[in-house]
Amino acid sequence: MAVHPQTSASGPSANRRFKKVSGVAGVCSPLKIKVKPLLQVTRQDEVLQARAQELQKVQELQQQSAREVGELQGRVAQLEEERARLAEQLRAEAELCAETEETRGRLAARKQELELVVSELEARVGEEEECSRQLQTEKRRLQQHIQELETHLEAEEGARQKLQLEKVTTEAKLKKLGEDLLLLEDQNGKLSKERKLLEERLAEFSSQAAEEEEKVKSLNKLRLKYEATIADMEDRLRKEEKSRQELEKLKRRLDVEGSELQEQMVEQQQRAEELRAQLGRKEEELQVALARTEQEGGARAQLLKSLREAQAGLAEAQEDLEAERAARAKAEKQRRDLGEELEALRSELEDTLDSTNAQQELRSKREQEVTELKKTLEEETRVHEVAVQELRQRHGQALGEMAEQLEQARRSKGAWEKTRLALEAEVSELRTELSNLQTTRQEGEQRRRRLESQLQEVQGRAGDGERARAEATEKLQRAQAELEIVSGALSEAESRAIRLSKELTSTEAQLHDAQELLQEETRAKLTLGSRARALEAEAAGLREQLDEEAAARERAGRELQAAQAQLSEWRRRQEEEAGALEAGEEARRRAAREVEALTQRLAEKTEVVERLERGRRRLQQELDDATVDLEQQRQLVSALEKKQRKFDQLLAEEKAAVLRAVEERERVEAEGREREARALSLTRALEEEQEAREELERQNRALRAELEALLSSKDDVGKSVHELERARRVAEQAANDLRTQVTELEDELTAAEDAKLRLEVTVQALKAQHERDLQGRDEAGEERRRQLAKQLRDAEVERDEERKQRALAVAARKKLEAELEELKAQTVATGQGKEEAVKQLRKMQAQMKELWREVEESRSSREEIFAQNRESEKRLKGLEAEVLRLQEELAASDRARRQAQQERDEMADEVANGSLSKAAILDEKRQLEGRLGQMEEELEEEQSNAELLNDRYRKLLLQVETLTTELSAERSFSAKAESGRQQLERQIQELRGRLGEEDAGARARQKMIIAALESKLAQAEEQLEQESRERILSGKLVRRAEKRLKEVVLQVEEERRVADQLRDQLEKGNLRVKQLKRQLEEAEEEASRAQAVRRRLQHELEDVTEASESMNRELNTLRNRLRRGPLTFTTRSVRQVFRLEEGVVSDEEAAAEEAEPGSGPLPAEPQGSPAAPPQ
C-alpha cells in the first residue's frame, strides 16, 4: 500500500507525541503520589473516611486497566499482523523492484544492440548509395552509347539516301554514255566514208584553224575558271575545318563547365554532410540537456525530500514544545497540523505539476527545434537534388546539341568532299575532251569547210535544244533539291516518330508507375483512415477514463470531506465528554484509534487522488499525442489527395501530348507521301524532256546526214527535178522510219515506267507486310502482357484471401487475448498494489515485445535488402551480357554496312572504267538494291526487337516490384505470427504460473477456470497449428515468388528505390531509437517511483515496529505496576492526572500546585506506590 511521504512522516510524529505524553503522564503520576501525602497531613480524618470509597474505585480502575491490557494485547496482535502484511508487501515490492532492475538492464543491453544495428544499417546505406551512384554512371554511359548508335544509324540512313540519288545519277549517265556510244559508232561509219572528202577539203578548213585556236583559248579560260572554282571550294573546306576546330573548342569548354558543375555537386554533398554532422551535434546537445534536466529533477526531488523531512522535524519540535507548554491545545494543534499538511501536499502537488509541465514544455520545444532542423535539412537536400538534376539535364542537352552540330559538320564536309570529287572528275573529263579535241582538230579543220554553210541552220535548232536542255537540267536540279528536302523531312519525321514512340512508351511506363503509386497511396489512405478511427476510439476511451478518474477524484474528495467531518465530530465529542473520567479515557483511546485510522484513510485517499491525478495527466498527454497524430494523419491524407489530383492533371496533359504527337506523325507521313508522288511526276517529266532532247538530236543527225548527202553529190546545177523529188521521198520515208522508231522507243519507255511503278507498288506492299508483321508481334507482346497481368491479378486475389484468413486469425487471437485479459482481471483482483505492479509489469512486457518485434522486423528487412542486392547484382550482370551481345550485333551490322559500301565503291569504279556491260551493271545494281533493302529490313527488325526488349524489360520490372512487395509482406506476416505465437505461449505460461500461485480456498473455482483455459488453450494451439499451416503455405508462395523472381531482370533505378527505402528505414530506426530512449526513461522513472514506494513502505514498517515496541514497553510497565500491588492515591490525584493527560488543567490549579509544596516537609513515600522513573 503506497503512502505519501508527508503523511507517513505525520504518522511517526503522532506516535512520538503519544509516547511523550504518556511519559509525561508517567512522570507526573508519581509526583502527585509524593505530593498528596503532604497535603493529607492536615486532612487525615477525611482521608480515613474516603479510603474505603477510593479502595472500591481503585478496584474498578484495576478492572478497567485489565480490560485495557486485553485491548492493548489485541491491538498488539493486530499490529503484528499488520507488520507481517507490510513485510509481505515489502518483499513483493522488493521482488518487483529487482525485476524492474533486471528489465532495465535488459533494456539497456537491448538499446546497445539496437544502436549497433543502426550503425550497421547506416554503413550499409552508405555502401548502397555508392553502388547506386556507380550504377547511375553505368546507366549514363549506356545511354550515351545508345545515342551514339542512334546518330550512327541516322548517318547510315542519310548515306543510303545519297546512294539512292547517286544511283539515279549513274543510271542517267549510263544512258547518256550508251547514246554517246551509238552516236560515236554512227559517226565512225560516216567518218570512214567522208575521210576522202575531208582530205580534199582540208585546205578549206586551214583558214578556220585560227578560229579553232581562239575556241581553244576560250576553253583554256573555262579551265582556269573551273580551277578558280576549285580553289574557292578548297577555301570553303578550310573554313569548314576552322568551324570544326571552333566546335571542338566549344566542346572542351563545355567539358570544363561540366567538371565545374561536378565540383559544385561535390561541394553541395559536403555541405549536406556538414548539415548532418550539425544535426548529430544538436541531437547530442539535446540528449545532454535532457540528461541535465533529469539530473536537476532528481536533485530537486532530493531537495524537496530533505525540505519535507526538515519541515517534519521542525513541526515535531514545535509540537513537542507546545505539548510540554500546554497539553490542552493538543487536539486543535493536531487539526491545524493536518490542515497544514493538506495545504503542503496541495502546494507540493501544484509545484510538481508546474515543474512537470515546464519540463514537458521545454522538451516539446526542443523536439520542435529538432524537427524544424530535420525539415530544413530535408528541404536543402531536396533543393540540392533538384538543382543537380537540372544541371544534368542542361549538360545532356548541351552535349546533344554539340553532337548534332558535329554531325551536321560531318555531313557538310562529306557533301563538300563529294562535290570536290565531282569537280575533279569533271576537270579530268574536260582534260580528256581537250586532248580529244586536239587530236580531232585536224579532222575538224577538214570538216569545218563543209559544215559552215549548214552550221547557221543547225545553230538555231541547237540553241533551242540547248535552252530545252538547260530548262530540263534546271528542272532536274529543282527536283533533286525537292527530293532531298522531302527525304530530309521524311527522315526527320521518322526520327520524330521514333522519339514520340519512345516518349509514348516512357509515358506509359510512368502511367503504370503512377497507377501503382496511386494504389499504394489509396492503401496508405485506407490504413491512415483506419488508424485515425482507432485513434478516435482510443481518444474516446481516454476521455471516458478521464471522466471516470474525475468521478473517482470527486468521490475521494467527498470521502475526504466526510473523514474530516467525522474527525471534527469525534473531536467535538471528545471535548464534550472530557468531564466524565472513565468515559473520557475510553473515548480518548477510541478517538486516537479512529484518528489513526482516519489519518491512514486520509493518506490512502490522498495517494489515490495523487495516483488518479498522475493517471489523468498521463491520459491527457496521450490524448494530446493522439489528437496531434490524428491531425498529422489528416494533413497527410489531404496532401495525398492533392498529389493524386495533380497526378491526374499531369496524366491528362501527357495523354493530350501523345495524341498531338500521333496526329503530327500522321500529318508528316501524309506530306512525305505527297512529296514522293510529286517526285515521281517530276522524274516522269524529266524523262519526257530527255526523250524530246533525244528526238532533237536524231533530227539533227538526220539533217547532218542530208547535208552530207547534199555535199557528197556533185552539186550540179543541171540536176533534174525528178532526182530531187526522189530524194525528198527517200527523206520522208526515212523520217517515217524514224517516227516509228520513236514510237517504239516511247512504248518501251512506258513499259519501263510501268515496270518501275510495279516495283514501287511491290516495295510499298512489302513495307505494309513488314508493318503488319510488326503489328502482329506487338499484339503477341500485348497478349503476353495481358497473361502476365492476369497471373498478377490471380496472385493478388490469393494474397487478398490470405489477408482475410490472417484477419480472421488476428480477430480470433484478439478475442482470446480479451478473454485472457478478463481472466487476468479476475486473478489480479486481490489487491490494489498488486494490480498496479502487474500493470507495470504488463507495460514493460508489452514494451519488450514491441522491441523484440521491431528488432525482428529490422533483421528481416536487412536480410531482404541483402537478398535484393544480390539479385540486383545478378540482374546487372545479365544486363551487361545483353549489352555486349547487342554491341556485337551492332558491330556485325557495321561490318556488313562497310562491306556494302566497299562493294558500292567497287561498283562505281567499274562503272567509271566502263569495263562491264550494261546488263551486268543492272544486275549488280539490283543485287545492291536487294542488299540495301535487306539491310534496311534487318535494321528495322533490330529496332523493333530493341523496343520489344525494352517493353519486356519494363513489364518484368513491374512484376519484380510487385513480387518483392508481396515477399516482404509475407515475411513480415510470418514474423508477426511467430512473435504472436511466442507471446501467446508466454502469456499462457504466465497464466499457468499465476493459477498455480492462487489460494487453496479458490481451487474449485479455479479448476473450472483452468478447464476453460485448457479448452481455450487447445483452441489457441489449433489456431497456432492453422497459422503454422498458413505460414507453410505462405512459405510455398514465397518460394514460388522467389522462383519467378529469379527469371526477372531488374533495372538500375531499383537500386535508387532501395536506397530511398534504406533512408526511410534509417529515419524510422532513428525515430524508433528515440522512442526506445523515451521508453527507457519512462521505465527508469517507474523504477525510481517503485524504489520510492519501497522506501516509503520501509519507513512505515519501521514506524510501525517502533510504535509496537513502544506499546510493548508501555504494556510491560503497566503489567509491572499491576504486579506490584494496588495503587494508593486519591480521587483528586487521579482526576488531576487525567486532567494533565487530557490537557485541561486550569491556571488556578497550577497556582495551587505551586503553593502546595511550600506548606510542609515531604513525607515518606507510601509503600506500594510505583517508583518514579528518572527524568
- Please write the tens of the pLDDT for every residue from 954-995: 776 676 677 667 667 766 766 776 776 677 667 667 766 766
**Residue 834 forms part of a structural domain:** no
Please check the confidence at residue 157 and state whether its pLDDT lies above 70.
yes
Q: Which residues of 325-338 are buried (b: 16+ CB within 10 A; e: fewer)?
A: eebbebbebbeebb
Would you give the DSSP letter of residue 713? Answer: S
Q: Could you give the CA distance from residue 789 to residue 607 in angstroms, rounded to a whole number? A: 66
- What mean pLDDT do residues 468-484 have? 64
pLDDT at 1057: 73
Residue 998's Cβ-side half-sphere holds a number of Cα atoms within 13 Å equal to: 22
**Residue 96 forms part of a structural domain:** yes
pLDDT at 363: 65
For residue 858, give the nearest of 1064, 1078, 1077, 1074 by alpha carbon: 1064
Of how many residues is the chain composed?
1175
**CB neighbours (10 Å) of residue 542?**
19
pLDDT per residue as tens digits for the range 863-900: 776 676 677 667 667 766 776 777 677 677 667 767 76
Interacting residues of 613 by C-beta distance below 8 A, sequence separation 6+? 349, 353, 553
Query: Which whole-number Å values give the CA distances from 202 to 199, 210, 215, 989, 1081, in the listed order?
Result: 5, 14, 19, 138, 130
For residue 1037, give the nearest of 800, 770, 682, 778 by alpha carbon: 800
pLDDT per residue as tens digits for the range 679-731: 677 667 667 777 777 777 777 777 777 767 666 654 444 444 556 666 667 76
Dmax over CA atoms of the chain, in Å, equals 225
Residue 122 backbone class (left: φ over 0; alpha: ψ -120 to 50; beta: rest): alpha
- Phi, psi (rounded to 5 degrees) for 1020: -65, -40
Residue with C-alpha cell 531537495? 303
Interacting residues of 31 by C-beta distance below 8 A, sequence separation 6+? 1172
**3-class secondary-structure state, position 201:** coil
Please check the confidence at residue 1125 and state whether its pLDDT lies above 70.
no
Interacting residues of 3 by C-beta distance below 8 A, sequence separation 6+? 600, 603, 604, 607, 1096, 1097, 1100
- One-letter amino acid for residue 575 of the chain: E
Could you tell me the pLDDT band of residue 346, with boundaries at 50, 70 and 90? low
Long-range contacts of 241-244 (CB under 8 A, 24+ apart): 243/409, 244/406, 244/409, 244/413
Percent composition of the chain: helix, strand, coil (DSSP 3-state, to 5): 95, 0, 5
Q: Could you give the CA distance from residue 132 to residue 1050 in angstroms, rounded to a whole number? A: 13
For residue 932, give the nearest of 179, 157, 27, 398 by alpha carbon: 157
SS (H, E, C) 974-1017: HHHHHHHHHHHHHHHHHHHHHHHCCCHHHHHHHHHHHHHHHHHH
pLDDT at 771: 72
**Residue 24 forms part of a structural domain:** no
- What mean pLDDT do residues 283-288 have? 73
- Phi, psi (rounded to 5 degrees) for 1128: -115, 90
Q: Could you give the CA distance from residue 767 to residue 672 in angstroms, rounded to a whole number? A: 15
pLDDT at 176: 80
pLDDT at 1171: 35
pLDDT per residue as tens digits for the range 1160-1170: 433 333 333 33
**Residue 73 forms part of a structural domain:** yes
Please answer whether residues 1054 and 964 qualify as being in contact, where contact means their C-beta atoms are separated by less than 8 angstroms.
Answer: no
Per-position DSSP letters for 266-335, written without gaps between them: HHHHHHHHHHHHHHHHHHHHHHHHHHHHHHHHHHHHHHHHHHHHHHHHHHHHHHHHHHHH-GGGHHHHHH
Please check the confidence at residue 654 and state whether its pLDDT lies above 50.
yes
Helix axes 5-39, 1053-1124, angle to 10 degrees: 10
Interacting residues of 521 by C-beta distance below 8 A, sequence separation 6+? 640, 643, 644
Average pLDDT over the chain reads: 68
pLDDT per residue as tens digits for the range 1068-1099: 766 776 776 777 777 677 767 777 777 777 77
Please check the confidence at residue 554 and state whether its pLDDT lies above 70.
yes
Q: Which residues of 212-249 are buried (b: 16+ CB within 10 A; e: fewer)?
A: beeeeeeeeeeeeeeeeeeeebeeebeeeeeebeeeee
**Residue 493 or 1166, more confident:** 493
pLDDT per residue as tens digits for the range 896-928: 767 766 776 776 666 566 555 556 666 766 776
State the Cα torsion 111-114-119-125 to the nearest 10°: -150
Q: Could you give the CA distance from residue 1052 to residue 505 in angstroms, rounded to a whole number? A: 18
**Residue 184 forms part of a structural domain:** yes
**Residue 743 forms part of a structural domain:** no
pLDDT at 229: 75
For residue 669, give the nearest of 767, 756, 757 by alpha carbon: 767
Please answer whether residues 1106 and 130 qualify as being in contact, where contact means their C-beta atoms are separated by less than 8 angstroms.
Answer: no
**Residue 1167 forms part of a structural domain:** no
pLDDT per residue as tens digits for the range 162-203: 877 887 887 787 778 878 778 877 777 776 777 777 677 666
pLDDT at 4: 43
Could you tell me the pLDDT band of residue 1143, with boundaries at 50, 70 and 90? very low
Q: How many domains does the chain have?
A: 1
State the Cα torsion 342-345-348-354 to the nearest 10°: -90
Cα 521 off chain centre by: 12
Please answer whether residues 204 and 718 qualify as being in contact, where contact means their C-beta atoms are separated by less than 8 angstroms.
Answer: no
SS (H, E, C) 1049-1086: CCCCHHHHHHHHHHHHHHHHHHHHHHHHHHHHHHHHHH
Per-position DSSP letters for 937-955, written without gaps between them: HHHHHHHHHHHHHHHHHHH
**pTM to 2 decimals?**
0.21
Q: Could you give the CA distance from residue 41 to residue 1162 in angstroms, rounded to a whole number? A: 10
Residue 186 belongs to domain spanning? 41-195
**Residue 74 forms part of a structural domain:** yes
For residue 491, give the nearest of 411, 376, 595 by alpha carbon: 411
Interacting residues of 1050 by C-beta distance below 8 A, sequence separation 6+? 871, 872, 875, 876, 957, 960
Could you tell me the pLDDT band of residue 1128, with boundaries at 50, 70 and 90? very low
